[in-house]
C-alpha cells in the first residue's frame, strides 16, 4: 500500500516543525556526553548536526510524493487537479521552508561566530542568541512554527477525511493489511489514524477534533524519528565489502570435509561437534593449523551450515539463536582487516537478524544498544557520526548480555592482521565466558594466540586434511587430458606413486598441494612419464616459504616480468584486491589509447574475451600464485561470474609476504600511471546506474599524485575524466553520486545550483588550483561564475566535515590535501575572470604549471 500523498508531505512538515521548535525552546537541553571535550569544537559539532538535520528534512519535504505531483502538473501545465487539502499542504510547505531556511542560516552564522572563549552551550537557543538572533526573533519564529503546525494538522485531517469518504463511495480498501509481514511504520500509523478518524467521526472544522488528531500526529513524529535513527545506525554499521571474503572463498571440493560430520572423534569430549552442544562453559573453540591448510574453507563450511543446528540445540534449548561471523582478509580494505570492521559487521548481521528475521524484535533495541547516540539524536539531530572501537565494543557487550538469546560467532583469520589485536581477543574471550555465547575462531598458531587460547578446545586442521589434500591432487591429475596418453604407456602404480609423493609432502597443507600439483603438471607433454613426475615431486621443498620461490624461478624471464607487474599493481592499488577488469586495463593501457577511447559500455564478447585472457595470465604466467575470485553472493546465482564481480589478489597471505619484495626491473613500469589510465578506462566503460565517484575520485587522486611526481599537470587527462563523469551524471542526476546535492526531481536538477554541470564546477569545489588556473582563463564567464557559486553553495551545505562523504578513505589522500589548501587566490581569480567588465580591476595572476 502506498502512503496517501498528504501523509508523506505532512510527516516531513511536522518533523521539521517539531525540530525547529525544539531548537528555539529554552527547556530543550543539549545532551552532554560524559566524555571531556573542547567547548568550541563541541559547540560547532552540535550546531553542524542541527544544521544537517534541517537540510535533510527540507530534502524530505521536496522529495515527497505531493511535491512530485505538483512539479509534474507544472511541467505538463495540466493533469489531475490537486485536492483542496493537498493545495493547502503545499502552501504550508512553502511557509515552513521559508521559516526553517532562516533558522538554518542563523545556526550557520552562530557556528561561524564560535570562539575558544565560548562555554559549552546548554541549548541551541543559547547559541542563536549569542549575537545572532534577538529574543524577539526566537519568539516570533517559534510562534509562526506553532501556528503552521495547527494549520497542517487541520489540512491533514481534511485529507484523510476526504480519503475515507471517497473510499466509502468507491468501495476501495481503506487500510493496509496488518496480516502482511513487515508492515511499515507509516502504514501502521496510517491505519490507526484512519481508524480513529472513522470511529470518532472527527472533522477538520471542529477545533477539539483537530486537537485530538494532533496527538496522533505527534505519534507519527516519534515513529519517523525512530525509523530514521534505526536506518542511520544500520547505514553506519554496514560496509559494502563486509561479505566479500566469505563469498570469495571456494567451497570445499566435493567429497572433502566429510570427516567433520562422519568421524566419530568429532563427538568425543572436546571434539568440534561435541563442543557445539556442551554446556560446560568452555565456549571458545580454536581452529588452528599451518598456513594454507584450509582453515578459512572449514570456517565457511561450518558457518550457517544446517548440519550444525541439531548439535547447537543441545546447548541453546528453546532460546532463539543468533549467528554472525566475520572473515578477516589481509589483502582487503581497512575495514575487512580490522577489529572495527569485525564488530561493525557482527553487530549489523545480528541486529538485522533480530529485527527483520523470525524474531521480529522491536527496533527499540537499536535505541537501547546505542543509547548515547539516541539521546544525541533526539536532542539536536546528532548521534550519526562514525563509530569508535570502544563504542562498538560497549554495544556488542550489551547485546550479548541478553541471556534470553543464544549467540554463535565465527571469526576467521585472526592472524591476517599484521599486528596482534589484543583488544579484540579480549572482547572475544570475555564474550565466550557467558553461558549464552559460543565463539569459533581460526588462525595459524602464533605465540600470542597460543597464549590467549591455551587450554581451550582446539582442532589442529592439518592433522585432519591429509586425505582431502590427496583427493585434490588426484582430482587435478584426473582432469588433465594429456595424462591419459601417459597412462597407456605405464601402469597405475607409477601414477599413484607420484600422487602419493605429493600428498605425503603436502602433509595436510592444501595450498602446498595445490601449488605443487600445478607446478608438476605445468607444461606436461605426452613425452613425459610418471616416474619423472614422482622424482620432481620428491625434490620439491616441504614448506610454502621455499616452494613459492622455486615456482617463481621456474618461470620464463617474460613470465617473471609479467608476474612482477601484477604484484606491483596489486601493491599500488588502494587495496591488494582490485577488480579483474580494472587490473587488465592497468596491464595493457597506454596514454594515447586511453584518452582516445570511446565512452561506452564494452560489448559482452569483448569483456568475456578480456576476462578469459586474464584468467589464463593468472593461471599460467602467474602460476596460480595470484588468483581471480568472485565476490557476489553464491545464493544469487544470476550474479555469479559477472565481470564486475571478479577481483584479483594473492592466493594466500603467505604468497604476498614472499612476492612483495619486488626485484629490480630493467623495464620501466610506473604503476601509478597505469592505474590512472585504468581508472579513466573504467569510467569510460561504466554501465548505466553505476556509481561514478569511486572511479572518478581514484582518477583525480592519481592525477594529482602524478602531478606531484612529474611537476607536469595532466590537464588533458583531467579534462577527459571529469567530462566522462559529468556525462554519466547528466543521464541520471537525481541518483548520481558526484560531489554536490541533486534536486529530488530530475526536471529541476539542471538548474539546481548544488548539482555540477561542468568540469570546472567539480574542480573549483575540490580546489584543484592548478587545473582551475589553467581553465579559468579561457572558460566562458557564465561557466566561471557558475563554478564559483556551485562551490560556495555546496560547501555551505556540506558544513564542517561534510566533505568526508566524498573524500574519506584510502586512495583519496591527495584530494583531501587539495581540499584543505588555501582557496582565496583561486576564488579571487574566478571573481576576476567571471566579471563581464574588467576595467579598473587589478589583473589577477596565479601561476600555471607546465601541463600535458
Could you give the number of structural domains in the chain?
4
633 occurs within a structural domain? no
Region 830-847: mean pLDDT is 74
Q: Minimum mean pLDDT among 515-529, 696-710, 835-849: which range?
A: 835-849
Q: 481 near 519, Cβ under 8 Å?
A: no
Q: Residue 77 has what pLDDT?
A: 63
Rounded to whole angstroms, the Cα distance separating 631 from 640 reads 8
582 occurs within a structural domain? no
In a shared domain, residues 442 and 510: no
Tell me 621's DSSP state.
Answer: I
In a shared domain, residues 223 and 266: no
Q: Which residues contact 126 (CB under 8 A, 6 or more apart)?
A: none
Rounded to whole angstroms, the Cα distance separating 306 from 313 reads 12
Q: Residue 534: count other Cβ atoms within 10 Å of its Cβ.
A: 20
598 occurs within a structural domain? no
pLDDT at 747 over 60: no
In a shared domain, residues 459 and 471: no
Q: Which residues contact 60 (CB under 8 A, 6 or more apart)?
A: 12, 15, 16
Region 785-793: mean pLDDT is 96
In a shared domain, residues 496 and 381: no
The reported pTM is 0.93
In a shared domain, residues 400 and 280: yes
Rounded to whole angstroms, the Cα distance separating 515 from 659 reads 15
pLDDT at 324 over 70: yes
Distances (CA, A) of 447 to 327, 338, 450, 454, 608: 21, 20, 5, 10, 46
Single out the residue in 500, 529, 554 at which a domain terminates: 554
602 occurs within a structural domain? no
More confident residue, 614 or 175: 614
Distances (CA, A) of 226 to 64, 121, 653: 19, 26, 43
Region 541-565: mean pLDDT is 94
Q: Which residues contact 215 (CB under 8 A, 6 or more apart)?
A: none
Q: Which residues contact 539 (CB under 8 A, 6 or more apart)?
A: none
pLDDT at 23 over 90: yes
Single out the residue in 193, 208, 236 at which a domain terminates: 236
674 occurs within a structural domain? no
Region 426-448: mean pLDDT is 97
Tell me 851's DSSP state.
Answer: B
Q: Residue 14 has what pLDDT?
A: 98
Q: Residue 106 has what pLDDT?
A: 98
pLDDT at 182 over 60: no
pLDDT at 837 over 80: no
Single out the residue in 432, 463, 494 at which a domain terminates: 463
Q: Where are the beta strands (DSSP E) in 320-448?
A: 321-327, 406-412, 437-442
Q: 790 near 753, Cβ under 8 Å?
A: yes
Angle, vertex CA 716, rays to CA 714 and CA 718, nearest 5: 70
The percentage of residues in the chain with a pLDDT greater than 90, rounded to a whole number, is 83
Q: Residue 746 has what pLDDT?
A: 47
Helix 580-588 and helix 671-684, axial crossing angle in degrees, nearest 10: 120
Rounded to whole angstroms, the Cα distance separating 257 from 259 reads 5
- Computed over every residue of the chain, the mean pLDDT equals 92
* Domain that includes residue 40, residue range: 5-236
Render pLDDT for 556-566 as a digit per residue (tens, 0 to 9): 999 999 999 99
In a shared domain, residues 393 and 364: yes
Q: How many CA atoms lie within 13 A of 424 on its CB side?
A: 25
Rounded to whole angstroms, the Cα distance separating 224 from 12 reads 9
Region 823-848: mean pLDDT is 79
Q: How many CA atoms lie within 13 A of 320 on its CB side?
A: 14
Q: Per residue in 416-455, is it b (16+ CB within 10 Å) or e — as a string? A: bbeeebeebbebbbebbebebbbbbbbbbeeeebeebbee
Render pLDDT for 630-650 as a digit per residue (tens, 0 to 9): 999 998 888 888 999 999 999
622 occurs within a structural domain? no
In a shared domain, residues 249 and 396: yes
Burial class (CB in 10 A: 0-12, 13-18, 19+), 536: middle
Rounded to whole angstroms, the Cα distance separating 507 from 410 reads 26
Tell me 416's DSSP state.
Answer: G
Rounded to whole angstroms, the Cα distance separating 599 from 681 reads 8
Q: Is 579 helix (H, G, I), strand (E, B) or coil?
A: strand
Q: Which of 61, 43, 62 is nearest to 51 (CA)?
A: 43
568 occurs within a structural domain? no
Angle, vertex CA 588, rays to CA 586 and CA 590, nearest 5: 90
CATH of residue 422's domain is 3.40.50.300
Distances (CA, A) of 9 to 15, 88, 228, 531, 770: 10, 11, 16, 80, 45
In a shared domain, residues 842 and 822: yes
Distances (CA, A) of 729 to 47, 96, 686: 32, 31, 12
pLDDT at 253 over 90: no
Region 12-18: mean pLDDT is 98
Q: 515 near 550, Cβ under 8 Å?
A: no
In a shared domain, residues 175 and 278: no
Tell me 571's DSSP state.
Answer: H
Rounded to whole angstroms, the Cα distance separating 424 from 106 reads 44
Region 408-433: mean pLDDT is 96
Q: 684 near 599, Cβ under 8 Å?
A: yes
pLDDT at 111 over 80: yes
Q: Which residues contact 14 (CB under 8 A, 6 or more apart)?
A: 149, 152, 153, 217, 220, 221
Q: Which residues contact 186 (CB under 8 A, 6 or more apart)?
A: 3, 7, 8, 11, 220, 223, 224
Distances (CA, A) of 813 to 143, 341, 438, 579, 824: 48, 21, 41, 21, 22
Q: Which of 307, 379, 362 is nearest to 23 (CA)?
A: 379
Angle, vertex CA 196, rays to CA 195 and CA 202, nearest 5: 120
- The DSSP result for 54-84, as a single string, is HHHHHHHHHTSHHHHHHHHHHHHT-SSPPPH
More confident residue, 613 or 730: 613
* Strand arrangement of the beta sheet that strand 284-288 belongs to: 321-327, 406-412, 437-442, 284-288, 458-460
Rounded to whole angstroms, the Cα distance separating 690 from 738 reads 12
626-630 and 646-650 as β-strands: parallel, antiparallel, unpaired?
antiparallel
Q: Residue 638 has what pLDDT?
A: 87
In a shared domain, residues 116 and 216: yes
Q: Residue 838 has what pLDDT?
A: 59
pLDDT at 839 over 90: no
In a shared domain, residues 432 and 505: no
In a shared domain, residues 820 and 750: yes
The percentage of residues in the chain with a pLDDT greater than 70, rounded to a whole number, is 94
Region 92-96: mean pLDDT is 97
Which H/E stretch holds residue 12? Answer: helix 5-24
Tell me 795's DSSP state.
Answer: H
Rounded to whole angstroms, the Cα distance separating 829 from 763 reads 14
Distances (CA, A) of 613 to 552, 580, 628, 650: 21, 11, 12, 18
- Ramachandran bin of 455, using left for φ above 0, alpha for ψ from -120 to 50, beta for the remaining angles: left
833 occurs within a structural domain? yes
Amino acid at each position: 500500500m502506498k502512503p496517501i500523498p498528504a501523509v508523506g508531505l505532512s510527516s516531513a512538515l511536522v518533523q521539521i516543525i517539531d525540530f525547529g521548535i525544539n531548537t528555539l525552546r529554552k527547556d530543550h537541553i543539549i545532551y552532554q556526553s560524559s566524555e571531556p571535550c573542547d567547548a568550541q569544537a563541541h559547540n560547532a559539532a552540535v550546531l553542524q548536526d542541527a544544521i544537517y538535520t534541517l537540510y535533510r528534512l527540507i530534502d524530505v519535504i521536496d522529495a515527497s510524493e505531493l511535491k512530485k505531483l505538483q512539479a509534474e502538473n507544472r511541467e505538463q501545465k495540466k493533469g489531475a487537479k490537486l485536492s483542496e487539502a493537498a493545495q493547502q499542504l503545499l502552501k504550508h510547505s512553502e511557509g515552513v521552508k521559508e521559516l526553517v531556511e532562516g533558522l538554518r542560516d542563523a545556526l550557520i552564522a552562530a557556528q561561524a561566530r564560535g570562539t575558544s572563549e565560548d562555554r559549552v552551550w546548554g541549548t541551541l537557543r543559547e547559541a542563536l542568541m549569542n549575537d545572532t538572533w534577538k529574543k524577539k526573533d526566537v519568539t516570533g519564529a517559534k510562534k509562526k512554527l506553532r501556528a503552521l503546525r495547527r494549520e497542517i494538522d487541520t489540512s491533514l485531517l481534511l485529507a484523510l477525511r476526504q480519503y475515507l469518504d471517497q473510499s466509502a463511495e468507491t468501495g476501495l480498501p481503506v487500510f493496509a493489511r496488518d496480516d502482511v509481514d513487515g508492515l511499515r511504520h507509516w502504514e501502521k500509523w496510517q491505519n490507526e489514524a484512519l481508524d480513529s478518524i472513522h470511529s470518532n467521526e472527527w472533522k477538520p472544522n471542529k477545533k477539539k477534533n483537530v486537537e485530538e488528531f494532533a496527538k496522533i500526529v505527534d505519534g507519527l513524529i516519534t515513529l519517523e524519528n525512530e525509523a530514521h535513527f534505526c536506518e542511520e545506525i544500520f547505514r553506519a554499521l554496514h560496509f559494502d565489502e563486509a561479505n566479500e571474503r566469505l563469498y570469495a572463498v571456494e567451497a570445499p571440493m566435493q567429497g572433502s570435509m566429510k570427516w567433520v560430520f562422519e568421524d566419530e572423534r568429532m563427538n568425543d569430549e572436546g571434539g568440534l561437534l561435541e563442543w557445539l552442544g556442551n554446556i560446560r562453559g568452555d565456549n571458545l573453540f580454536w581452529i588452528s593449523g599451518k598456513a594454507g591448510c584450509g582453515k578459512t574453507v572449514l570456517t565457511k563450511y561450518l558457518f550457517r551450515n544446517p548440519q550444525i543446528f541439531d548439535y547447537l540445540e543441545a546447548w541453546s534449548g528453546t532460546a532463539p539463536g543468533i549467528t554472525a561471523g566475520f572473515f578477516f582478509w589481509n589483502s582487503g580494505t581497512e575495514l575487512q582487516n580490522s577489529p572495527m570492521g569485525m564488530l561493525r559487521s557482527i553487530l549489523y548481521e545480528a541486529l538485522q537478524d533480530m529485527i527483520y528475521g523470525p524474531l521480529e524484535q522491536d527496533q527499540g533495541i537499536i535505541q537501547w544498544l546505542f543509547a548515547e547516540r539516541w539521546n544525541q539524536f533526539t536532542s539536536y539531530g546528532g548521534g550519526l557520526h562514525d563509530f569508535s572501537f570502544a563504542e562498538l565494543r560497549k554495544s556488542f557487550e550489551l547485546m550479548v548480555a541478553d541471556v534470553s538469546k543464544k549467540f554463535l560467532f565465527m571469526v576467521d583469520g585472526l592472524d591476517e592482521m599484521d599486528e596482534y589485536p589484543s583488544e579484540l581477543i579480549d572482547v572475544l574471550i570475555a564474550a565466550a565466558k557467558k553461558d549464552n555465547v559460543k565463539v569459533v575462531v581460526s588462525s595459524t598458531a602464533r605465540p600470542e594466540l597460543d597464549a590467549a587460547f591455551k587450554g581451550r578446545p582446539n582442532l589442529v586442521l592439518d592433522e585432519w586434511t591429509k586425505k582431502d589434500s590427496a583427493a585434490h591432487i588426484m582430482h587435478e591429475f584426473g582432469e588433465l587430458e594429456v595424462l591419459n596418453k601417459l597412462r597407456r604407456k605405464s601402469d597405475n602404480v607409477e601414477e599413484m606413486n607420484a600422487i602419493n609423493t605429493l600428498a605425503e609432502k603436502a602433509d595436510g597443507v592444501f595450498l602446498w598441494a595445490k601449488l605443487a600439483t600445478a607446478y608438476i603438471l605445468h607444461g606436461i607433454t605426452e613425452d613425459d612419464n610418471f616416474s619423472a613426475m614422482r622424482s620432481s615431486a620428491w625434490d620439491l621443498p616441504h614448506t610454502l616459504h621455499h616452494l613459492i620461490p622455486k615456482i617463481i624461478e621456474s618461470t620464463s624471464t617474460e613470465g617473471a616480468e609479467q608476474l612482477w607487474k601484477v604484484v606491483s599493481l596489486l601493491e599500488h592499488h588502494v587495496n591488494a584486491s582490485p577488480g579483474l577488469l580494472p587490473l587488465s586495463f592497468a596491464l595493457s593501457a597506454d596514454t594515447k589509447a586511453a584518452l582516445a577511447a570511446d565512452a561506452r559500455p564494452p560489448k559482452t564478447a569483448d569483456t568475456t574475451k578480456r576476462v578469459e585472457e586474464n584468467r589464463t595470465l593468472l593461471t599460467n604466467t602467474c602460476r596460480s600464485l595470484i588468483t581471480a575470485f568472485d565476490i557476489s553472493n553464491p545464493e544469487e546465482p544470476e550474479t555469479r561470474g559477472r565481470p564486475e564481480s571478479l577481483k584479483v589478489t594473492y592466493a594466500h597471505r603467505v604468497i604476498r609476504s614472499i612476492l612483495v619484495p619486488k626485484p629490480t626491473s630493467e623495464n620501466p613500469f610506473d604503476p601509478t600511471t597505469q592505474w590512472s589510465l585504468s581508472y579513466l578506462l573504467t569510467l569510460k566503460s561504466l554501465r548505466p546506474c553505476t556509481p561514478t565517484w569511486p572511479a572518478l575520485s581514484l582518477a583525480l587522486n592519481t592525477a594529482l599524485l602524478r602531478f606531484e611526481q612529474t611537476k607536469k599537470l595532466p590537464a588533458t587527462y583531467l579534462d577527459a575524466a571529469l567530462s566522462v563523469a559529468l556525462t554519466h551524471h547528466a543521464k541520471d542526476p537525481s541518483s548520481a553520486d558526484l560531489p554536490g546535492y541533486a534536486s529530488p526531481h530530475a526536471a529541476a536538477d539542471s538548474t539546481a545550483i548544488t548539482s555540477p554541470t561542468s568540469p570546472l564546477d567539480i574542480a573549483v569545489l575540490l580546489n584543484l588550483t592548478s587545473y582551475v588556473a589553467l581553465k579559468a582563463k579561457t572558460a566562458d564567464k557564465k561557466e566561471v561564475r557558475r563554478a564559483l557559486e556551485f562551490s560556495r553553495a555546496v560547501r555551505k551545505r556540506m558544513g564542517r566535515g561534510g566533505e568526508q562523504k566524498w573524500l574519506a578513505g584510502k586512495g583519496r589522500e591527495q584530494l583531501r590535501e587539495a581540499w584543505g589548501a588555501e582557496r582565496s587566490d583561486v576564488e579571487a581569480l574566478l571573481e576576476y575572470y567571471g566579471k563581464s567588465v574588467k576595467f579598473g580591476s587589478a589583473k589577477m595572476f596565479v601561476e600555471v604549471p607546465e601541463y600535458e
